[in-house]
A and B are shown apart, each in its own frame.
Chain A
Amino acid sequence: MSPDVPAPDGGPDADVTSDVADRIRYLDEVMAEIDAEVRRRRASGDLPAGLEQELDELFLEFSPVGLQGRARLRETLSLVDGSAYVDIAVPTSSNKAVGSYVKRAIRKGLGWYMNFVVAQIVKFAWSVSRMFHVVVDHIEDLEATVEANRSPDLPSGLVPATPTGSTWWAPAAVDALVGVSDRVVVGDCGDGSLVEALTAAGVDAYGIDPSDIALEPALDRGADVRAEPVLGHLAVVSDEALGGIVLTGSVQWLRPNERVRLLDLASTRLVVDGILVLHSSSPAAWAATASPVVRDLAPGQPLHPETWAHLLRSRGFTVTATIFGGDDRQLARVGAGAADAAEVNAAIDAINDLLLGPTEYLVVATRER
């Protein structure tokens, strides 16, 4: 391409170049002030979190693109119905008198022929339309059945925040992924700390998080992060495009069918020998620490590490490490001199084993096939 793009005040003159640089610097300052104003409005409550997303979602309600399920089917069906009629009355108006006369003559002369052909086209179109109505009715029956068995989403205001800053498991995750040459995605990356730690360790890492608010600190620091949910992101990544996947946050309360979908995607998006790192609360800690409302309304709940290991092995993974961490909730044993010390300590040990212990764990697995 030749360099012919008209550049602003282009030319070799040093004064002009300096002038352009000043203008660009000034606009950069204005843009920084605009960003600061947006942050200030967010902090003050003028721009509640999620407001912009709600606007986007509202627009989708008016959009055939955004219509889901039944509404989209009905919208498409109405388009089929609307185009199933063919009008043979060709417009004959023209800016020129002779043009209109010629068009009318053509329409009159070809009317019998057009009528014959169009009648058959319309008959076919209505047959197709009728077939679609039958299909849509059947699909709506199926949807109603599925809907009756569906568990509701966890209300967005109740979604537990992804832990930010340094976590106990971040060094173990970095250790597991150091040396991976393909790209590594960190799901529910929050403020991007783990992405930056991985990058600092020489890993080609990027982060995704469904909350653009949570991502703001990472974006401000220039981290490679984007606002996407894990399932949605992995669905559009090519097979064997990733060397590592880190899962945390929402992975803990996915519905069972979403969890299956996540594991299927992870097992195909990772290269052979790719590393999966999964962080979760333990079921007992979840039961003890999550609010009752979240526990009751969450579509799913954390699994035991043994269950994850089972699910991963069934998809061709080998679990190479299970690391426990977080708060180690333990009842202290009583001293040997206490009355009935042996019986009391046996009961404490049983309680510690069954109900308490580490609150979180990390599973590291390698895709073998």
Chain B
Amino acid sequence: MTAVHQFVPALLPRDATGDHTRALRDAFRSAGWESDIYVEAAHDELQDEATYFEEYPARARPGDVLLYQLGTSSPVAEFLLGRAEPLVLDYHNVTPESFYEGWEDHTAVKVALARRQVAALAPKAVLGIADSAFNARELEELGCPATTVVPILVDLHVDADRVDGHERVRLAADHGASTVLLFVGRISPNKAHQRLVEALWIYRRIYDPGARLHFVGPAVTPAYADAVFAFADELGLADAVRHGEDLTEAELAAWYQDADVFVCLSEHEGFCIPLLEAMQAGTPIVALDAGAVGETLADAGILLPTARPATVAAAVARIRGDTALAHRLADAGRRRLADFAAPITRQRFVDVLAGVADAERGVA
């Protein structure tokens, strides 16, 4: 029987990598395979679904294929380097350390270690699966002998029941006629939240003095988050910048639907799931063409070659002033979203891993 076991540094609920790992496990089991999840750490809620990675050798069977969910540094990487089973990397990208230097030096050290681990694992892997061609190129440059692109497995449904009605009404009451810009993602230097603040300031100065900016996401780099909010205060935007944290999935859906434009000025993204969430909500997208953003977005939004605030503000104004364009982008988003439909992605993973298992067994 085919057995594909996954290794992941941390298995967390309501986390993109955690959800992806568990969904893949279910897909592999549905295909009739054995599939377990091995971790360095698991959240209390998911303890029953995970096994400590050092227990794997006692359970190893001939023919096992190991799939490593790679997005951060972990002793799991060192462990897998010492294993003889065929290794497949599922690479979600590691943010370059340069983004953290000065802001959070210990995180810079951690991501630098992660990049070294990617470099060590890439040549050993029989296959690298990447969320995007951008990520695949990184794996290839590090010596991965073969790569394929399969998007991250996200379960996005257009379902009105998944929107928090109370939150939607509350946000609508605040919204009024002014523009609301939204960005969703960790508050971290590579996400360039300060560029969003700059764009808001210019937008209010030229187009709409009542415009507001909504950030949603945890402040994972506190020094950077503090700087962004202090910057907004200095520009007189304290009341115009709102931060949503610890939102439920339904509340987040309401924030997406409330926004007039989703603006992403991230300087480094390996895939960018929030783009898909914005597409799902029908929110028009303006995004900087950086990392894998252009690839994920395709023609479903306005892709900017620069994050200069005047250009960003003009792009937002263009959408706000042209309902037909806004509808066109929303329609394009919904079309693009279909390319990432979970059943298609799920089957792609099964096919790719079946190919690896067959090759290892010598099946033609």
**A and B, one complex?**
yes
Query: Do residues A52 and B302 form an inter-chain contact, with CB atoms below 8 A?
Result: no
Q: How far is the CA of A52 from the CA of B314 in the complex (A)?
A: 14
Is A30 a contact of B299 with CB atoms below 8 Å?
Answer: no
B45 within 8 A of A: yes
For residue A37, give the distance in angstroms from its CB to the closest CB of chain B: 4
Are B335 and A8 closer than 8 Å at their CB atoms?
Answer: yes
Q: Which of A58-66, A123-131, A178-186, A320-328 contacts B (4 or more CB under 8 A)?
A: A58-66
Pair A38/B311 contact, Cβ less than 8 Å: yes
The answer on a CB contact under 8 Å between A46 and B206 is: yes
Cβ contact within 8 Å between A20 and B299: yes
Closest CB in chain A relative to B74 CB, distance in Å = 22
Does B102 lie within 8 Å of A64, measured CB to CB?
yes
Check: B136 CB closer than 8 A to any chain A CB: yes
**Contact among A8, A41, A42, A58 with B339 in the assembled complex (CB-CB below 8 Å):** A8
Q: Is the CB of A6 within 8 A of B340?
A: yes
CB distance from B251 to the nearest CB of A (A): 23
Find residues 23-76 in chain A having any chain B CB closer than 8 Å to their own CB.
23-24, 26-27, 30-31, 33-35, 37-38, 41-42, 46-47, 51-52, 55-56, 58-59, 62-65
| B235 / chain A contacts, CB cutoff of 8 Å | 55, 58
* Cβ–Cβ contact B44 & A27, under 8 A: no
In the complex, what distance in Å separates the CA atom of A37 from the CA atom of B226? 33
Q: Is the CB of A27 within 8 A of B303?
A: yes
**Total A-B residue pairs with C-beta atoms closer than 8 Å?**
112
Instruction: Please report the C-alpha to C-alpha distance between residue A20 and residue B335 in the assembled complex, in whole angstroms.
Output: 11
Bitwise interface map of B from 41 to 66 toward A, beta carbon under 8 Å scored 1, else 0: 00011000000000000000000000
- The segment out of B143-151, B157-165, B176-184 that lies at the interface is B143-151
Whether a CB of chain B sits under 8 angstroms from the CB of A336 is: no
* CA of A27 to CA of B336, assembled, Å: 15
Size of chain A's interface in residues, with CB distance under 8 A?
Answer: 39
Query: Is B348 interfacial (CB-CB < 8 Å)?
Result: yes
Q: Judging by beta carbons under 8 Å apart, are B310 and A38 in contact?
A: yes
**Nearest chain A CB to B197 CB, angstrom units:** 8
Cβ of A34 and Cβ of B311 under 8 Å apart? Answer: yes
Kindly list chain B residues whose C-beta atoms are within 8 Å of the C-beta of A23: 299, 332
B170 proximal to A (CB < 8 A): no
Binary interface encoding of chain B residues 208-241 relative to chain A, with 1 for a CB under 8 A from any of its CBs, else 0? 0000000000000001101110110011000000
Residue of A nearest to B151 (CB): A6
Question: Inside 8 A of B310's CB, which chain A residues have their CB?
Answer: 38, 41-42, 47, 51-52
> B132: CB under 8 A from chain A?
yes
- Please provide the chain B residues from 298 to 348 with a CB less than 8 Å away from any CB of chain A in the complex: 298-300, 302-304, 308-311, 314-315, 317-318, 325, 328, 332, 335-336, 339-340, 348
Query: Would A37 and B317 be within 8 Å (CB), given that A1-B133, A47-B310 are in contact?
Result: yes
Complex contacts, B228 vs chain A, CB 8 Å:
62
Query: Nearest chain-A residue to B308 (Cβ)?
Result: A52
| CB contact under 8 A between A58 and B234, given known A1-B133, A1-B137, A46-B206 | yes
Given the complex, which residues of A lie within 8 Å of B354, measured CB to CB? none
Q: Is A96 an interface residue (CB 8 A)?
A: yes
> Does any Cβ of B come within 8 Å of A92's Cβ?
no
| Complex contact A34–B315 (CB within 8 A) | yes
Contacts of A6 in B (CB 8 A): 151, 339-340
Please give me the residue from chain A that is nearest to B332 by CB atom: A23
Q: Does B358 contact A (CB under 8 A)?
A: no
Bound CA–CA A174/B151 (angstroms): 51
Chain B, range 189-206, C-beta contacts under 8 Å to A: 194, 197-198, 201-202, 205-206
B231 adjacent to A2 (CB under 8 Å): no
Is A354 part of the contact surface with B, judged by Cβ < 8 Å? Answer: no
Q: Which residue of B lies closest to A95 (CB)?
A: B44
**B206: A residues at CB distance < 8 A:** 41, 46-47
Give the residues in chain B near A65, CB-CB below 8 Å.
101-103
Cβ of A134 within 8 Å of any chain B Cβ, yes or no, is no
Greatest chain A CB density within 10 A among B150, B310, B318, B328 is at B310
B34 on interface, CB distance cutoff 8 Å: no
The smallest beta-carbon distance between A224 and chain B, in angstroms, is 15
**Interface status of B295 (Cβ within 8 A of chain A):** yes
- Asked if B227 contacts A34 (CB within 8 A), the reply is no
Q: Is the CB of B150 within 8 A of A37?
A: no
Query: Is A5 a contact partner of B149 (Cβ separation < 8 A)?
Result: yes
Q: How far is the CA of A58 from the CA of B295 in the complex (A)?
A: 32
**Cα separation A59 to B193 with both chains bound (whole Å):** 11
Are B302 and A27 neighbours in the complex by a CB distance under 8 Å?
Answer: yes
Asked if A7 and B318 make an inter-chain contact with CB atoms under 8 angstroms apart, the answer reads no
On chain B, the residues within 8 Å of A38 by CB distance are 308, 310-311, 314
Flag whether A87 is at the interface (Cβ < 8 A). no
Q: Provide the residues of chain A in CB contact with B227, threshold 8 Å.
A: 59, 62-64
Cα distance A63–B228 in the bound complex, in angstroms: 9
* B26 CB–A CB distance under 8 Å: no
A37 to B230, CA, bound (A): 30
Let me know if A94 is at the binding interface, CB within 8 A: yes
Given A5-B149, A7-B298, A33-B318, decide whether A52 and B198 contact each other with a Cβ distance below 8 A. Answer: yes
Q: Does B19 contact A (CB under 8 A)?
A: no
A94 touches B149 (CB 8 A): no
Tell me whether A4 is interfacial, beta carbon within 8 Å: yes
Shortest Cβ distance from A24 into chain B, in angstroms?
6
B140 within 8 A of A: yes
Contact call A5/B132, Cβ cutoff below 8 A: yes
A353 at the interface (CB under 8 A from B): no
* CB-CB nearest in chain B for A4: B149
Give the interface centre of A5, A10, A46 by most chain B CB atoms within 10 Å.
Answer: A5
13 A–B contacts from the bound complex (CB under 8 Å)? A1-B140, A4-B148, A5-B132, A24-B299, A30-B318, A34-B311, A34-B318, A47-B310, A52-B308, A59-B194, A59-B227, A65-B103, A99-B44
Enumerate the 10 nearest inter-chain pairs by beta-carbon distance, A residue then B residue, closest first: A6-B339, A65-B102, A95-B44, A62-B227, A8-B298, A37-B314, A4-B149, A55-B198, A62-B230, A59-B194
Given contacts A30-B302, A58-B235, 18 further A-B contacts (CB under 8 A): A4-B348, A7-B298, A23-B332, A30-B318, A33-B318, A37-B314, A37-B318, A38-B308, A38-B310, A46-B206, A47-B206, A59-B197, A59-B231, A62-B227, A62-B230, A64-B102, A65-B103, A94-B44
